[in-house]
Amino acid sequence: MPAGQSTRASNLNIERLKAQFGEMCRIREFERAAITASTEKLVLGAIHPSIGQEAVAVGVCGNLKRDDIILSTHRGHGHTMAKGADALAMMRELFGRAGGTSGGKGGSMHIADFSVGMLGANGVVAANINIAAGAAHAIKLKGEDKVVVCFFGDGAINRGPFLEGLNWAGVFKLPIVFVCEDNGFAATTRTHAMTAGGGPAARAESIGIKAEIVDGNDVVAVDEIARSLIEEARRGTPRFLLANTYRLTGHTSADPAPYRAEEEVQERWLNDPIETVRNALVRAGVAPDELDAMHRAAEAEMTQAYETAKATEWPETALAFADVQDIGDPREEAF
Amino acid sequence: MARVSYIEAGRQAVAEEMRRDPLVWAVGEDLGRGGVFGQYTGLADEFGSDRISDAPISESCILGAAVGAAMTGTRPIVEMRFSDFALCAVDELVNQAAKARYMFGGQTRVPIVVREPIGMWRSSAAQHSQSLEAWYAHIPGLVVAVPSTPADAKGLLKAAIRCDDPVVFMEHKNLWPLEGEVPDGDVVVDFGKARTVREGRDVTIVSWSAAVHTAEEAAKTLSGEGVEADVIDLRTLWPWDKAAVLKSVETTGRLLVVQESVSVAGFGAEVAATVAEALHGVLKAPVRRLGAPRIPISYAPPLEDEVRVTADAVAAAARDLVTRINR
Ligand SMILES: Cc1ncc(C[n+]2csc(CCOP(=O)(O)OP(=O)(O)O)c2C)c(N)n1
């Protein structure tokens, strides 16, 4: 499908869509800068870009309040930024520098900002699902008006916590929306080749959690469906969203992804969610110049974040010993 | 002081802490009916099913959900039924609970208590008898408590519930019926403070959990022979009371560590190595460990007994240490 055809032209809330476009551009440019930094060995650990998946992060998180909660995966930059985390602090975290969201202790794979309700990206596939269920459980116990969104990839549905966490949410009627991003791959393997049965939505339904399927490259569609699922979840009905999308880069920034044909990727770029939303806005009468300016502003912001992060000092080494646990002094046990 | 059982002591600790703090709750399989060993008996009546919460047979989710619920401001007590089943939730404990505070740069804490009953208990065979405390002592971020008496079961469990870091709380199944004096009032036992079981000048015996009672029995026998053992109950393996052990061995010059668990790579090795490093010049005999052979635990009693560290074996080892130098 050529870019721009999937977002319905009528009834568009132009201001909201522009904001979504801007946010998607920010995520894209953040990750572009991060990939550059990774190539330059300024970002040291693996990074997993979400280029091509920005519409899911923005469409879902746009319906959350600041104290609502999200949890994410190794591919969590987009979700974290869409939830409102500071891009510079995130960039510093990727660079392992002082002032990073986790003080440089987590890096890309554990990006987290508790101040905006982002309880962490997780390096263990599917592990966030149970933790998310627990966060929703606590909300219910405390009688709070909050909701949890748990993002995970299509690969996560083949691990036990998928079954366990969804069952838990169903049993306890928790305020949670599970968002499965099917980007086609689990690392270098096509997930469908490794998944028996009807896939993520069918599995959710089998546990009694009603599932919706959405074009994850269409931010308007994601926004709409996420809004209604989040509302239902707030009332204590856990819901499931399968967002079909595509990972436009390799699994990590260092992965050239030779396991897929060049033509496949080129064709998928024609369905770039950012281009799609841009075309929709232009069709709705927004001046292309205005949109280009927004995109350039995002680029400038992230270039600045890159430069600032690069110039930021490392964390003090004494901090290696901080936040292990209250009890005992790890220094005494060393060496 | 009242005489209560180990099981009742733990039950009291949970009840008192839940009364004190409305954010404390317990979750696990069959809790509503009192837990497999009855350690939650009656608590659902007092606190309701939201706070004494029955869970699906889903160890990974019980522990994972507790982590999420702890990161968002509650204080879950996680019931793992048997420590063996907690192995289904090792990722949640080791990769998540123990790491979250550190890897998120102090943005969060995980105040959970993971109750993992350990030890041999009535022909329970290989999958219901393990003592894996050393595994957890190895993991930065975790506290490991191994109470041997009703008083400690209560005082340490209270400390565990109040602790802001994840605590692996290992009760010994054989000790459930054990009765003992439990102090009245809100008595909390600090982590990392060993208990002197009895004092002696000839040999230091370090132990924890049920093996403490084996050591104590051996010490009584030895005393009848004129050998006085200093018996130390570590109570917690992380933190552990290095100072108390070193102080004792400085006096006795001899160390014997007694554990129910497999000796190889067990916590006894840590104690032995620490003493050997710090007190090489003081030792009158090589340090010695007694633990189980590296075999799974059998069902048939005579085979089960093959891995058991008995009071006779402890006494013999201690005797050997003492006579060695006197030779
Ligand atoms: C339990 C576990 N097994 C394996 C890995 C290695 N690994 C990291 S990402 C990944 C693929 C995950 O695929 P998916 O869940 O679809 O997410 P995506 O990467 O597509 O966003 C794998 C296998 C891991 N991190 N955790």
Q: What is the pLDDT of residues A187-209, one digit of tens each?
A: 999 999 999 999 999 999 999 99
Give the domain range for residue A125.
14-267+280-310
The answer to the question of residue A3 being in a domain is: no
Does ligand 1 come within 6 angstroms of the Cβ of A156? yes
pLDDT value of residue B188: 98
* A window 27-56, beta carbon within 8 A of B: none
A208 in contact with chain B, both atoms CB, cutoff 8 A: no
Distances (CA, A) of A67 to A80, A192, B100: 13, 35, 19
| Chain A CB contacts of B238 below 8 Å | 327-328
Within 13 Å, how many C-alpha atoms sit on residue B287's CB side? 26
Check CB contact under 8 Å for A138 and B73.
Answer: yes
Please count the other Cβ atoms lying within 10 Å of the Cβ belonging to residue A287.
Answer: 10
8 Å CB contact between A313 and A96: no
The answer to the question of residue A303 being in a domain is: yes
What is the widest separation between alpha-carbon atoms in chain B?
65
pLDDT value of residue A334: 63
- In order of start, what are the domains of chain B with their CATH numbers? 2-182 (3.40.50.970), 195-324 (3.40.50.920)
Check CB contact under 8 Å for A134 and B66.
Answer: yes
Choose among B69, B91, B165: nearest Cβ to A138.
Answer: B69
For residue B67 the two structure tokens come to 């982590």
Percent of chain A with pLDDT over 70: 96
A175 in contact with chain B, both atoms CB, cutoff 8 A: no
* A window 70-99, beta carbon within 8 A of B: 71
Q: Look over chain A and give the mean of its residue pLDDT values, rounded to a whole number.
A: 95
| Chain A CB contacts of B64 below 8 Å | 127, 129-131, 133-134, 161, 164-165
Q: Which atom of ligand 1 sits closest to the CA of residue A251?
A: 19
The answer, yes or no, to whether residue A9 has pLDDT greater than 70, is no
Nearest C-alpha in B relative to A320:
B102
Distance CA B294, CA B61 (A): 31
Using 50, 70 and 90 to split pLDDT, how confident is the model at A330? Answer: confident
The answer to the question of residue A7 being in a domain is: no
Q: How far is the CA of A123 from the centre of ligand 1 (A)?
A: 8
Check CB contact under 8 Å for B140 and A325.
Answer: yes
Nearest C-alpha in A relative to B99:
A324
pLDDT value of residue B325: 55
For residue A270 the two structure tokens come to 């024609």
The answer to the question of residue A9 being in a domain is: no
Owner of token pair 């891009």: A87
> How far is A188 from chain B, CA to nearest CA, in Å?
23
Q: How far is the CA of A125 from the centre of ligand 1 (A)?
A: 5
> Which residues of chain B, if any, have pLDDT below 70?
325-327
Q: What is the pLDDT of residues A164-194, one digit of tens each?
A: 999 999 999 999 999 999 999 999 999 999 9
> How far is A98 from chain B, CA to nearest CA, in Å?
11
Task: Enumerate residues 6+ apart whose C-beta is below 8 A from B175.
Answer: B6, B119, B148, B153, B209, B210
> Among A56, A74, A191, which is best to mutate for testing ligand 1, by the most ligand atoms less than 8 A from CB?
A74
The answer to the question of residue A1 being in a domain is: no
Q: Which atom of ligand 1 sits closest to the CA of residue A159?
A: 1
Question: How far does Cα B320 stand from its chain's mean position?
Answer: 28
Q: How many CB pairs under 8 A join A and B?
A: 151
> How far is B130 from chain A, CA to nearest CA, in Å?
24
Check CB contact under 8 Å for A327 and B60.
Answer: no
Owner of token pair 């009916």: B33
Please count the other Cβ atoms lying within 10 Å of the Cβ belonging to residue A254.
Answer: 11
Per the structure, how many domains does chain A have?
A: 1
Q: What is the pLDDT of residues A268-278, one digit of tens each?
A: 999 999 999 99
Distances (CA, A) of B3 to B32, B154, B188: 26, 12, 17
pLDDT value of residue B280: 93
Q: What is the pLDDT of residues B270-327, one digit of tens each?
A: 999 999 999 999 999 999 999 999 999 999 999 999 999 999 999 999 999 999 754 4
The answer to the question of residue A258 being in a domain is: yes
| Chain A CB contacts of B165 below 8 Å | 325-327
Choose among A131, A137, A138: nearest Cβ to B96.
Answer: A131
Helix (H) or strand (E) holding A298: helix A288-311
Q: How far is the CA of A139 from the centre of ligand 1 (A)?
A: 28
Percent of chain A with pLDDT over 90: 93
Helix (H, G, I), strand (E, B) or coil at A205: helix
The answer to the question of residue A272 being in a domain is: no
Does ligand 1 come within 6 angstroms of the Cβ of A77? no
The answer, yes or no, to whether residue A1 has pLDDT greater than 50, is no
pLDDT value of residue B327: 43
pLDDT value of residue A332: 78
**Least confident window among A148-157, A318-327, B214-223:** A318-327
A60 in contact with chain B, both atoms CB, cutoff 8 A: no
The answer, yes or no, to whether residue A307 has pLDDT greater than 70, is yes
Does ligand 1 come within 6 angstroms of the Cβ of A155? yes
Which residue of the set B128, B138, B172, B213 is catalytic? B128
Is B128 among the residues known to form the active site? yes
Using 50, 70 and 90 to split pLDDT, how confident is the model at A5? Answer: low
Check CB contact under 8 Å for A325 and B142.
Answer: yes
The answer to the question of residue A152 being in a domain is: yes
In CATH, what number is assigned to the domain containing residue A111?
A: 3.40.50.970
Nearest C-alpha in A relative to B239:
A328
The answer, yes or no, to whether residue A6 has pLDDT greater than 80, is no
Mutate to test the interface with B, among A72, A164, A172, A176 (most CBs of B within 10 A): A164
Three-state SS sequence of B204-261: EEEECCCHHHHHHHHHHHHHHCCCCEEEEECCEEECCCHHHHHHHHHHHCCEEEEEEE
Q: Look up the ipTM and state it.
A: 0.94
8 Å CB contact between A250 and A256: yes
> How far is A319 from chain B, CA to nearest CA, in Å?
9
A142 in contact with chain B, both atoms CB, cutoff 8 A: yes
Q: How far is the CA of A191 from the centre of ligand 1 (A)?
A: 10
Does ligand 1 come within 6 angstroms of the Cβ of A125? yes
> How far is B82 from chain A, CA to nearest CA, in Å?
19
B192 sits in the region (left: phi over 0; alpha: psi -120 to 50; else beta) called left
